[in-house]
Structure 1
Amino acid sequence: MDSSQQIDIFTSAGHLFFAKNFSFQMLEIGKQVNVPSEEYQSQLLAASSDSSHLAIVITFNGRGILSEKIPSILHKNHVPTVLISSTEYHPEIKYYDYQLFLSSKENHYKKMSSYSTRLSLLFVLDTLYTAYFKRHYEDNIEKKTKYYKKMTGE
């Protein structure tokens, strides 16, 4: 995350809200994170990415374009890619440089809601943010303070 000029998160459905929250947190310290919300935007962002980007693909079991199409495009463009998925999802690992895991204790079709998936995704993204923030703690505190002062006119 440190060496990337831009971070792009590819996800869908309920995971979008957590990805957008991560994007907001990173923007507070000056790091741009794109979270496309539509399929076409996701494909266009993947196609226009290069090795200066870092891609994070969030999918519980790899449905839709997140299973093959987006990872394949990113791989062809030499984009370093992190997969965040359930422990039961076993994609072609050639597309990913790293894999982080979500709780796999929910059955997609036999559940009331995605409680453990949401909590574990929030934990993973908050951990990534915290680790990134901590690497340059003093600089990030300074940036955050400077941005808020500019916004409030201080």
Structure 2
Amino acid sequence: MSVLIKLRDQRNLSEAENQVREYILRYPKRVLEYTVYDLARESFTSPATIVRLCKKLDIKGFSRLKVLLAEETKYFQNIKLNLLDTTTIEKDDSPGAIIDKITNISIKTIEETRVLVNEEELLRVARLMKDANIIDFYGIGASSLVAVDGQFKFMRIGKNVIVHQHYDRQYVQAVNSDASHLGIIISYSGETKEMLQIAGILQKNGTPVVAVTSSGENSLNRIADHNLFVTAKETVFRSGAMASRTAQLYVIDLLYAIYCSLDYDEIIQKIQKTRIDQVK
């Protein structure tokens, strides 16, 4: 997990904690030379505020935070990632400028999400999918489109996959699930009321829950048994919706490819068999 991305995406911070967050994100290299008292002075806060922020990030103290910052700032510099950069479509942008901005948003969103990818967790989820009798995808709004994409991919390779775009049907789907199912809930915010209700039902039914959600602490990733984290550049009209969809699709693609690698030869045959131009 990237501490810088987690710091940027962290929600529910106090005003003072947010001041520390903004300072670290803006000047990470300076922070490497600071004591906790230096950072408190420069961010107009207190050492206690910095300690509380570290706890919210699940980091054991300011010294550990500096170690993680040292590792990440060098890496982000090498791949030219600016975590504070935002890209918005302006009123007078030309079509060419819009094309360039959207292209940059998509590339940077995938690069940031790659930093969050946990290979072992992806492999664990892929194996759970292989063992499940039924895979249930859940999502509302733009996330429901990602769920449909996941359904089609795994249906092609012979998995019994269910997805409904209307919430009332998703609710029934969850109520009828059991331990032989695997529930994959897609929600960038992790706070969508309907998806939290679905997660609670699945948990009660003994259905393993996988969340595709943001790296910041949220209600969904606290409930889920497994978390696949994504991040999103702020985009277009100062909204992350377009980028979050790109990141979610990217993670589903990774999951699908790793799943296929578990039984490569057999799955390649299934993919060939289900090509549309092969269907008579």
C-alpha RMSD of the superposition: 2.2
Residue 107 of structure 2 corresponds to none
Q: Is the 8 A contact 1:9 1:57 kept in 2?
A: yes
**What amino acid maps onto 1:125 in structure 2?**
I
Q: Is the 8 A contact 2:211 2:220 kept in 1?
A: no
Q: Is the 8 A contact 1:87 1:104 kept in 2?
A: no
Q: 1:152 and 2:279 equivalent?
A: yes
1:49 to 177, 188, 191: 177
Q: Is the 8 A contact 2:199 2:220 kept in 1?
A: no
- Within a 5 Å distance, the mapping from 1:8-87 to structure 2 comes to 8-61=136-189, 62-67=191-196, 69-87=197-215
Larger mean Cα displacement after TM superposition, 4-13 or 82-91: 82-91
**1:19 Cα offset (Å):** 1.5
Larger mean Cα displacement after TM superposition, 1-10 or 27-36: 27-36
Bigger Rg over Cα: 2
**1:29 Cα offset (Å):** 0.8
Q: Is the 8 A contact 1:60 1:89 kept in 2?
A: no
Q: Is the 8 A contact 1:55 1:81 kept in 2?
A: yes
Q: Is the 8 A contact 2:232 2:240 kept in 1?
A: no
1:13-40 deviation per Cα after TM superposition (whole angstroms, max 9, x unaligned) = 0111221111111111111221111111
> Could you tell me how far apart the structure 1 residues matched to 2:244 and 2:164 are?
21
Q: Could you list the runs of 5+ residues in structure 1 that have no partner in the other structure?
A: none
**1:42 Cα offset (Å):** 0.9
Q: Is the 8 A contact 2:155 2:161 kept in 1?
A: yes
Find the residue that maps to 2:132 and give its secondary structure.
coil
Length-normalised TM-score, structure 2: 0.49
Residue 137 of structure 1 corresponds to 264
Residue 241 of structure 2 corresponds to 114
**What amino acid maps onto 1:66 in structure 2?**
M
Greater helix percent: which structure? 2
**1:146 Cα offset (Å):** 3.2
Residues 1:150 and 1:6: Cα distance change in structure 2 (over 3 Å): farther
What is the percentage of aligned positions where both structures have the same residue?
Answer: 28
Find the residue that maps to 1:15 and give its secondary structure.
helix
Residues 1:103 and 1:48: Cα distance change in structure 2 (over 3 Å): same
> Could you tell me how far apart the structure 2 residues matched to 1:152 and 1:65 are?
38
Q: 1:96 and 2:221 equivalent?
A: no
> Could you tell me how far apart the structure 1 residues matched to 2:239 and 2:218 are?
25
Larger mean Cα displacement after TM superposition, 110-119 or 26-35: 110-119
Q: Could you list the runs of 5+ residues in structure 2 that have no partner in the other structure?
A: 1-128
**What amino acid maps onto 1:120 in structure 2?**
A
> Could you tell me how far apart the structure 1 residues matched to 2:240 and 2:212 are?
19
Find the residue that maps to 2:272 and give its secondary structure.
helix
